[in-house]
């Protein structure tokens, strides 16, 4: 599945509810998931790490959707970068 396909799937399944929740409340959910990922990264449970990475990515897609940002376009600038830092 591509980023675009996943972002579209999130929009189709949750878009109405996500837009009703709005950016501020959605961002709080995103931050909570980032915290859960931080906790998972401190441990040794690989399955939990995978789950939390997935949750963070899904909430990032949600934030992008409700702010009309195509994540594929947003990351395009990294496609041909060689230095990785600029």
Instruction: State phi, psi for 19 to the nearest 5 degrees.
Output: -65, -35
Domain 3-69 superfamily per CATH: MazG-like (1.10.287.1080)
Indicate yes or no: pTM above 0.85.
yes
CB 68 within 8 A of CB 15: no
Per-residue pLDDT of the chain (86 residues; tens, 9 = 90+): 999 999 999 999 999 999 999 999 999 999 999 999 999 999 999 999 999 999 999 999 999 999 999 999 999 888 877 665 55
The per-residue pLDDT for 78 is 84
Domain ranges in the chain are 3-69
Q: With the C-alpha atoms ordered 51, 56, 57, 63, is the resulting torsion angle positive or negative?
A: positive
DSSP letter at 69 equals -
């Amino acid at each position: 599945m591509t980023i675009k396909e996943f972002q579209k799937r999130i929009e189709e399944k949750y878009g109405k509810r996500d837009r009703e929740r709005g950016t501020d409340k959605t961002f709080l959910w995103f931050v909570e998931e980032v915290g859960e990922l931080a906790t998972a990264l401190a441990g040794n449970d690989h399955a939990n790490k995978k789950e939390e990475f997935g949750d963070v990515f899904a909430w990032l897609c949600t934030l992008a959707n409700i702010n009309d940002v195509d994540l594929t376009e947003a990351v395009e600038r990294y496609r041909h970068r060689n230095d990785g830092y600029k």
